[in-house]
Amino acid sequence: MNNGAHAEQWAEQYLLRQGLKLVARNYRSRYGEIDLVMQDGAALVFIEVRLRRNADFGGAAASIDTAKQQRIIRTAQLYLADLARIPPCRFDVVLMDDAQGGQAQWLKNAFDA
Protein backbone atom coordinates (compact mmCIF):
# COMPACT_ATOMS: atom_id res chain seq x y z
CA MET A 1 0.00 0.00 0.00
CA ASN A 2 1.43 3.41 -0.94
CA ASN A 3 1.53 6.42 1.38
CA GLY A 4 -1.48 8.08 -0.28
CA ALA A 5 -3.61 4.96 0.13
CA HIS A 6 -2.43 4.69 3.74
CA ALA A 7 -3.45 8.31 4.38
CA GLU A 8 -6.88 7.71 2.81
CA GLN A 9 -7.39 4.61 4.95
CA TRP A 10 -6.40 6.52 8.09
CA ALA A 11 -8.72 9.42 7.18
CA GLU A 12 -11.61 7.04 6.53
CA GLN A 13 -11.20 5.38 9.93
CA TYR A 14 -10.89 8.78 11.63
CA LEU A 15 -14.07 10.09 9.98
CA LEU A 16 -15.98 6.89 10.80
CA ARG A 17 -15.06 7.47 14.46
CA GLN A 18 -16.47 11.02 14.10
CA GLY A 19 -19.84 9.53 13.11
CA LEU A 20 -19.70 9.75 9.31
CA LYS A 21 -20.77 6.76 7.21
CA LEU A 22 -18.82 5.53 4.19
CA VAL A 23 -20.69 5.71 0.87
CA ALA A 24 -17.85 5.25 -1.65
CA ARG A 25 -14.05 5.09 -1.91
CA ASN A 26 -11.99 6.42 -4.79
CA TYR A 27 -14.90 7.46 -7.00
CA ARG A 28 -13.47 8.13 -10.46
CA SER A 29 -14.74 10.05 -13.45
CA ARG A 30 -13.18 11.44 -16.58
CA TYR A 31 -12.43 14.62 -14.59
CA GLY A 32 -10.63 13.03 -11.68
CA GLU A 33 -11.13 11.18 -8.43
CA ILE A 34 -12.80 11.81 -5.09
CA ASP A 35 -10.99 9.97 -2.30
CA LEU A 36 -13.99 9.43 -0.04
CA VAL A 37 -17.73 10.01 -0.30
CA MET A 38 -19.35 9.91 3.12
CA GLN A 39 -22.67 10.66 4.77
CA ASP A 40 -22.75 13.17 7.65
CA GLY A 41 -26.34 13.28 8.87
CA ALA A 42 -28.40 14.41 5.87
CA ALA A 43 -25.35 15.77 4.04
CA LEU A 44 -23.34 13.96 1.40
CA VAL A 45 -19.67 14.84 1.90
CA PHE A 46 -17.01 14.69 -0.82
CA ILE A 47 -13.63 14.36 0.87
CA GLU A 48 -10.15 14.99 -0.49
CA VAL A 49 -7.27 13.51 1.54
CA ARG A 50 -3.90 15.20 1.12
CA LEU A 51 -0.58 14.00 2.52
CA ARG A 52 2.63 15.97 2.21
CA ARG A 53 6.03 14.83 3.40
CA ASN A 54 7.37 18.37 3.72
CA ALA A 55 6.16 21.95 3.43
CA ASP A 56 8.58 23.00 0.67
CA PHE A 57 5.70 23.89 -1.64
CA GLY A 58 3.21 25.03 0.98
CA GLY A 59 2.21 21.73 2.55
CA ALA A 60 -0.97 19.72 2.06
CA ALA A 61 -3.40 22.65 2.07
CA ALA A 62 -1.55 24.49 -0.68
CA SER A 63 -1.80 21.44 -2.93
CA ILE A 64 -5.57 21.87 -3.31
CA ASP A 65 -5.53 24.72 -5.78
CA THR A 66 -8.44 26.08 -7.84
CA ALA A 67 -7.84 23.60 -10.67
CA LYS A 68 -7.91 20.66 -8.22
CA GLN A 69 -11.09 22.01 -6.63
CA GLN A 70 -12.75 22.29 -10.06
CA ARG A 71 -11.86 18.67 -10.90
CA ILE A 72 -13.36 17.51 -7.60
CA ILE A 73 -16.50 19.60 -8.17
CA ARG A 74 -16.99 18.23 -11.71
CA THR A 75 -16.51 14.68 -10.46
CA ALA A 76 -19.02 15.29 -7.66
CA GLN A 77 -21.53 16.62 -10.21
CA LEU A 78 -21.25 13.39 -12.18
CA TYR A 79 -21.69 11.37 -8.98
CA LEU A 80 -24.82 13.37 -8.10
CA ALA A 81 -26.26 12.94 -11.61
CA ASP A 82 -26.81 9.24 -10.85
CA LEU A 83 -28.87 9.93 -7.72
CA ALA A 84 -32.67 10.10 -7.71
CA ARG A 85 -32.59 12.94 -5.17
CA ILE A 86 -29.74 15.38 -4.57
CA PRO A 87 -29.03 15.80 -0.85
CA PRO A 88 -27.28 18.77 0.76
CA CYS A 89 -23.58 18.46 -0.09
CA ARG A 90 -20.26 19.82 1.08
CA PHE A 91 -16.58 19.48 0.26
CA ASP A 92 -14.24 18.58 3.12
CA VAL A 93 -10.49 18.09 3.20
CA VAL A 94 -8.36 15.99 5.52
CA LEU A 95 -4.81 17.35 5.60
CA MET A 96 -1.81 15.41 6.82
CA ASP A 97 1.57 17.09 6.94
CA ASP A 98 4.54 15.00 8.05
CA ALA A 99 6.35 18.30 8.62
CA GLN A 100 3.75 19.02 11.35
CA GLY A 101 4.60 15.84 13.22
CA GLY A 102 2.11 13.69 11.36
CA GLN A 103 -0.90 15.57 12.70
CA ALA A 104 -4.12 15.55 10.72
CA GLN A 105 -6.57 18.37 10.26
CA TRP A 106 -10.20 17.96 9.13
CA LEU A 107 -11.52 21.02 7.32
CA LYS A 108 -15.29 20.99 6.89
CA ASN A 109 -16.66 23.05 4.00
CA ALA A 110 -13.11 23.57 2.74
CA PHE A 111 -14.40 25.01 -0.55
CA ASP A 112 -17.68 25.63 -2.35
CA ALA A 113 -19.04 24.46 -5.68
Position 52 scores a pLDDT of 67
Tens digit of each residue's pLDDT (9 = 90 or more) over 72-113 = 999 999 999 999 999 999 999 998 876 445 578 899 999 998
pTM value? Answer: 0.87
Tens digit of each residue's pLDDT (9 = 90 or more) over 13-55 = 999 999 999 999 999 999 999 999 999 999 999 999 988 655 5
Q: Residue 5 is which amino acid?
A: A
Beta strands (DSSP E) in the chain are 21-28, 33-40, 43-52, 89-97, 103-111
User: What residue segments make up the domains of the chain, in order of their start?
Assistant: 3-111
Q: Is the pLDDT of residue 67 over 60?
A: yes
Position 53 scores a pLDDT of 59
Q: What is the CATH number of domain 3-111?
A: 3.40.1350.10
Distance, in Å, from the CA atom of 85 to the CA atom of 68, rounded to the nearest integer, reads 26
Distance, in Å, from the CA atom of 83 to the CA atom of 78, rounded to the nearest integer, reads 9
